[in-house]
With several copies, the nearest count.
Chain A
């Protein structure tokens, strides 16, 4: 069964939904891919400060061609702008910020998440094994959110009882936003807090490889 574009949230909607939960005044690191979409979908009443691993707090959006500064890229190696009040630093201080527990939220993509909060997002057989800053982010940050499709390209669930792929971190994820809904990490099961429009609990149960509770649905 293919999800993308059929039931649940689109990736843009997913980013918009997660953006709603980012509190005003937060310090946030957004992973490459869907998580980065959050920056352009924040409610207008929020001042959120984005950290980029390569050494800036106060990352801005994409520059127009004449705004490109060759010394300013984001962690995805794309040219980027900074905002007024930004600070730059070297990689050691950048990761002191990450590993020292100073960021409020890290948002990452994932291949697998378990109900205990284990995360696998860096290594699949046959691909170039880039770990980047993911292991630092998941052990250092107060809240670790995962944003991802509920299932992979082959329709296999990404919410699993136990991760079978190499782990990025143990017991590190606090919340999961998938195309089907919003899930808290509850230890032995996923606690579904919200369903995407038109998604039924039965669909979620069927497409999830671990127990799901719906008692806290709002």
Chain B
């Protein structure tokens, strides 16, 4: 029998070692697996490669990981956390800056067996031509640049080749989930949680409400359980699901 529910968050998260690559869902304050990020801090995990759209906008979620200096690399579109830039410019963290749509598509591609794809997004810009710094030394000098991307003209339009972005783990936050890992999300909280879960070789889902198998209508499952390996009950007590009260 499949039972992906786990009671002990720290024990569940202890499978993620320091140095791992971790895709983390969420956008702004919605759909952020904050409890799982907290667990990484409690477990003192370091040197993480975090893949996430934002680098956090407050000291929770990815923001806390940045604040505590637990990243060796950040891949995302919006590292707008004011704590991030000093870390970048002093060589403590590497940056792979990716357009937001390319990020979502690369994560989905990893989960979908698409090894690489051509998109016009970023063609001709510094992000494609190798003119964007990815790593600095402690004195703020550039020591590495993002790799130039392959270009192919398709139907008269220059397109860059983007590779699938698979990660060792993924952390996602859902509104509801069941023992099979099936998950459903409300409104803007779905965001990167689905592509992140697809990209992670092992995905942990922090569920606001845990429901019985079958409680989520088959047509309303946004993330089929096959993409999720573990489900834990969120300790976030916000009552955001008006249909199903928090258990």
Direct A–B contact in the complex, CB atoms closer than 8 angstroms: yes
Which A residues lie at the B interface, using CB under 8 A?
24-25, 27, 47, 49, 51-58, 69-74, 77, 80, 82, 84-103, 123, 128-136, 139-140, 166-170
Given contacts A70-B240, A85-B182, contact A100 B120 (CB under 8 A): no
The answer to whether A98 and B113 have CB atoms under 8 Å apart is: yes
Chain B: which residue is nearest A138 at the CB level? B121
B90 to chain A, nearest CB (A): 14
Taking the closest CB of chain A, its distance from the CB of B164, in whole angstroms, is 9
Report whether A58 and B218 are in contact in the complex, using a CB–CB cutoff of 8 Å.
Answer: yes
- Asked if B92 is at the interface (CB within 8 A of a chain A CB), the reply is no
Contact check: which of B99, B100, B123, B178 meets A85 at CB < 8 Å? B178
Is the Cβ of A88 less than 8 Å from the Cβ of B221?
yes
A71-B188, A100-B110, A131-B77 given; name 14 further pairs at CB < 8 Å. A49-B226, A53-B100, A54-B28, A56-B187, A71-B240, A73-B188, A77-B57, A87-B224, A90-B190, A97-B224, A128-B82, A128-B84, A132-B78, A166-B126
From B28, B213, B224, give the contact of A89 (CB < 8 A).
Answer: B224
B29 and A73 form a contact (CB under 8 A):
yes
Give the distance to chain B from A7, nearest Cβ to Cβ, in Å. 33
* B218 near A136: Cβ-Cβ < 8 Å: no
Q: Does B153 contact A (CB under 8 A)?
A: no
* Residue in contact with A132 in the complex, picked from B77, B191, B193, B240, CB distance below 8 Å: B77
Q: Is B125's CB under 8 angstroms from A27's CB?
A: no
How many residue pairs at the A-B interface have CB separations less than 8 Å? 220
Cβ-defined contact, A133 with B57, below 8 A: no
Asked if B191 and A133 make an inter-chain contact with CB atoms under 8 angstroms apart, the answer reads no
In the bound complex, residues from chain B placing their C-beta under 8 Å from that of A95 are 100-101, 104-105, 112-113
Q: Does B73 contact A (CB under 8 A)?
A: no
Contact B31 A71, beta carbon cutoff 8 Å: yes
Which residues does chain B contribute within 8 Å of A132, judged by CB atoms? 77-78, 99-100
Which B residues touch A169, using CB under 8 A? 124-125
CB-CB contacts below 8 Å: B215-238 with A: 216, 218-219, 221-222, 224-227, 238
Chain B 72-103 against A: per-residue CB contact (8 Å), 1 yes, 0 no? Answer: 00000111111011000000000101111111
A58 partner residues in chain B, CB cutoff 8 A: 218
Residue from the set A51, A53, A130 with the largest chain B CB neighbour count within 10 Å? A130
B79 touches A71 (CB 8 A): no
> Is B189 located at the chain interface by the 8 A CB criterion?
yes
A-B contact pairs, 27 of them (CB 8 A): A57-B226, A69-B187, A72-B186, A73-B188, A85-B179, A86-B218, A88-B185, A88-B221, A89-B221, A90-B190, A90-B193, A90-B194, A91-B53, A95-B104, A95-B105, A96-B113, A99-B101, A99-B112, A100-B111, A103-B226, A134-B99, A135-B101, A135-B122, A135-B125, A139-B120, A139-B121, A170-B125
Bound-complex Cα distance A41 to B105 (A): 34
A25 vs B180: C-alpha distance when bound (angstroms): 10
What 7 A-B pairs have minimum CB-CB distances, sorted nearest first? A99-B113, A95-B101, A85-B213, A136-B101, A77-B28, A96-B112, A87-B221
B154 within 8 A of A: no
Q: Are A88 and B218 in contact (CB under 8 A)?
A: yes
Give CA–CA (A123, B127) in the complex, Å: 11
Q: Is B205 positioned at the interface, with any CB of A under 8 Å from its CB?
A: no
Chain A contacts of B99 at CB under 8 A?
Answer: 131-136
Contacts of A166 in B (CB 8 A): 125-126, 131-132
Nearest to A118 among chain B residues (CB) is B124
A124 CB to closest chain B CB (Å) equals 12
The distance from the CB of A133 to the nearest CB of chain B, in whole angstroms, is 4
Shortest Cβ distance from residue A87 to the other chain B in the assembled complex, whole angstroms: 4
* Contacting residue for A56 out of B28, B81, B218, CB 8 A: B218
- Separation of A102 and B111 alpha carbons in the complex (Å): 8
